[in-house]
Chains A and B, each alone.
Chain A
């Protein structure tokens, strides 16, 4: 690695596939030492992906290194960089800078039941958590996945639901705000689904990712349901330009999401979450 931490690794797009409406999965094989660096990436970490000539943006790493040598990112087409990334095809070169940030302490979670709550594309950084638990199934208790989106066509990783459902002691609960005619699961917000599902707080850890307002209300409800703050984990996103604790942009109070996070437990950020909205 260069002395310049802003310099990305080069990576080759080996697969692009539609995950949901305007959301693409980019599968990147890293070159010049990048593969080595990402082989030790942990669930919850993130990286910057460059569309050369347009810029770079941060994305949660969407797979565990145990699931293959390539690195997955779920990219929603929203701004100029993400639009540029959507226009790329297999064989195109991108830049990848990372892995960055902290991660979910999966070792600490051993022996506990997990409740994983994903809202929209916020499910992407939770996928490595699910993969890790499924790959080490005996180490963890019950796995309850609550998966939500605004519309059915915005649900991510739909083609993996069968694998999740088939795993021992694992359940998947789906909800959307606005169903279509074919929709046969729950309707409403993830908080309503959480109340209906009513997982038990005893010996449990919760992991939430989604839009700020979803995180805010979900963690409030979890606290009410008796999940202790030190076992309620969130992964936050904020606009950031370096990921190294320098550019100043991603602060949440005195914390920097890029280096103090993106993974926090509610004990650490509970009071600050209102400024995140």
Chain B
């Protein structure tokens, strides 16, 4: 186990910039895209935005027909692919006084289609914690390694989107393996990484010299009307929909007599018991204190702790604004904070 230094600075070796490794491009038709995705779905797990009881989520699809035809971004970000809501860290077998621990690691190859640039950026921000700061998280690392992201640039921005205000853009290709830009009659496809290039069918697609023209669309963010709030969540759910919130709890669950599993589960810093310590004392008991901590984490603590420099840990996806039942709007909070500083 790696040792910390006595009362010193932690080693930080994080870069938020990943060079675009490839720049090969192809033009493909809608039909070609469908055929390609059908092929991927037949060979391995394909996750794509899918309608689940009126909500769009990344879910396994059997073929391209199951993919939601129109979506701004799924309600939950792509973070759950690398950092699932519940992850088994090992199992515990107890027989009498004997205890055996058995490690299990996820072994599956996944392709995710329809990843929006904000979510791809979110994954890279999580990399700063789980991959680029020691010790490397074994579970996150495996899932990340075994996953290929097919990005889809945003043609339109959703009502709560503000990625351009936090350093992102609707056509930012830097966090995905393959980027698709919608064009008249099809897509412009770009291989961004070697992993992405590997997934592109050799001679079947037509290569092009055409480059994607950066979208002129700035942030079209507007404060949604009250009746636009879905309001379907408790007051701590901003953390669950956020692409970069990563707080977790570790707990044991019983599988059978003498058989247990140690789990890591998503948690939210907005919960009242989040900081409760043995003996019952609850630091940050007031909701305002927790709210303050969350915003400070996103815009100051997280970047500071994991060496992001001036970048914030917010991707501007706007999900927290969309799901907040009491109308807390991060963009308004930031404006308020700036006025007070």
The chain A residues found within 8 Å of chain B, CB to CB, are 1-8, 10, 37, 42, 52-57, 76, 78-79, 82, 91-93, 95, 97-105, 211-212, 237-239, 241-242, 244-249, 251, 253-256, 259-260, 263-265, 268, 275-277
Q: Is B321 an interface residue (CB 8 A)?
A: no
Assembled-state Cα–Cα distance A83/B330 (Å): 41
Whether B252 sits at the interface, judged by CB under 8 Å, is yes
- Interface presence of B103 (CB below 8 A): yes
The answer on a CB contact under 8 Å between B90 and A7 is: yes
Residue of B nearest to A108 (CB): B6
Give chain A residues whose Cβ lies under 8 Å from the Cβ of B262. Answer: 6, 55-56
Residues of B within 8 A of A10 (CB): 99, 101
CB distance from B281 to the nearest CB of A (A): 7
Q: A260 — which chain B residues lie within 8 A by C-beta? A: 4, 10
CB within 8 Å of A: which B260-292 residues: 260, 262, 264, 267, 269, 274-281, 283-284, 289
> Which chain B residues lie closer than 8 Å to A55 at the CB level?
250-252, 262
8 Å CB contact of B1 from A1, A53, A264, A265: A1
Closest B residue to A276 by beta carbon equals B283
Task: Specify which of B4, B103, B251, B301 is in contact with A4 (CB 8 Å cutoff).
Answer: B103
> Which residues of B1-33 are within 8 A (CB) of A?
1, 3-8, 10
Residues in B with CB closer than 8 Å to A212 are 281, 283
Contact: B10 with A79, CB < 8 Å? no
CB distance from A112 to the nearest CB of B (A): 15
Cα A247 to Cα B281 with chains together (Å):
20
How many residues belonging to B are interface residues under a CB distance threshold of 8 Å?
Answer: 56
Q: Which residues of chain B are within 8 angstroms of A102 by Cβ–Cβ distance?
A: 4-8
Are the CB atoms of B252 and A245 closer together than 8 Å? Answer: no
Q: Which residue of the partner chain, among B8, B92, B269, contacts A53 with CB atoms under 8 Å?
A: B92
Distance between Cα atoms of A79 and B254 in the complex (Å): 18
List of B residues within 8 angstroms of A251 by Cβ: 293, 297, 301, 305
Our count of residue pairs bridging A and B at CB distance below 8 angstroms stands at 146
Chain A residues with CB under 8 Å of B3's CB are 99
Closest-CB distance, B129 to chain A (whole angstroms): 6
**Is B79 close to A, CB under 8 A?**
no
What are 28 inter-chain pairs, A to B, with CB distance below 8 A? A4-B103, A4-B105, A4-B138, A6-B262, A7-B89, A10-B101, A52-B252, A52-B260, A76-B279, A78-B280, A82-B278, A93-B97, A93-B98, A97-B1, A102-B6, A102-B7, A238-B277, A242-B248, A245-B10, A246-B129, A246-B137, A247-B247, A247-B249, A249-B267, A249-B274, A254-B301, A254-B305, A263-B7
Contact (Cβ within 8 A) A247 B248: yes
Most buried by B among A95, A104, A264: A95
Min CB gap B51→A, angstroms = 32
Q: CB within 8 Å of A: which of B125-143?
A: 129-130, 133, 135, 137-139
Checking B10, B275, B289 against A259 with a beta-carbon cut-off of 8 angstroms, the contacting residue is B10
Bound Cα distance A55, B260 (Å): 10
Which of B90, B99, B280, B293 gathers most chain A CB within 10 Å? B99
Contact between A239 and B264, CB atoms less than 8 A apart: no
Contact A259–B4 (Cβ < 8 Å) = yes
Residues of B whose CB lies within 8 Å of any CB of A are 1, 3-8, 10, 89-90, 92, 94, 97-99, 101, 103, 105, 129-130, 133, 135, 137-139, 246-252, 254, 260, 262, 264, 267, 269, 274-281, 283-284, 289, 293, 296-297, 300-301, 304-305
Find out whether the CB atom of A238 lies under 8 angstroms from the CB atom of B275. yes
Q: How far is the CA of A100 from the CA of B135 in the complex (A)?
A: 12
* Contact status of A57 and B278, CB under 8 A, knowing A7-B101, A102-B5, A241-B248: yes
CB distance from B310 to the nearest CB of A (A): 14
A72 to chain B, nearest CB (A): 18
Question: B89: which A residues are within 8 A, CB to CB?
Answer: 4, 6-7
Please judge, given known A-B contacts A55-B252, A245-B133, A248-B247, whether A253 and B301 are in contact too, CB under 8 Å.
yes
CB distance from A109 to the nearest CB of B (A): 11
Could you say which residues of chain A place their CB within 8 Å of the CB of B101? 7-8, 10, 95
Contact B284 A52 (CB under 8 A): no
Q: In the complex, what's the smallest C-beta–C-beta distance from B5 to chain A, in angstroms?
A: 6
Beyond known contacts A92-B97, A212-B283, A251-B297: 4 more, CB 8 A cutoff: A53-B252, A91-B97, A99-B3, A102-B7
A111 CA to B6 CA in the complex, in Å? 19
Chain B nearest CB from A265 CB (Å) reads 6
A239 & B276 in contact (Cβ 8 Å cutoff): yes
* A12 CB, nearest partner CB in chain B, Å: 8
CB contacts (< 8 Å) of B129 on chain A: these are 245-246
CB-based closest 8 A-B pairs: A78-B278, A248-B247, A254-B304, A93-B99, A254-B301, A241-B250, A53-B260, A5-B135
| Complex-state Cα separation, A251 to B292, whole angstroms | 13
Q: Are A53 and B297 in contact (CB under 8 A)?
A: no
**How many Å lie between the Cα of A264 and that of B9 in the bound state?**
11
8 Å CB contact of B7 from A7, A37, A97, A105: A105
Q: Check A248 against B275 for contact (C-beta < 8 Å).
A: no
- In the complex, residue of chain A having the shortest beta-carbon distance to the beta carbon of B133: A245
Across the interface, name the chain B residue whose C-beta is closest to A51.
Answer: B252
Tell me the minimal C-beta distance from B15 to chain A in angstroms.
18
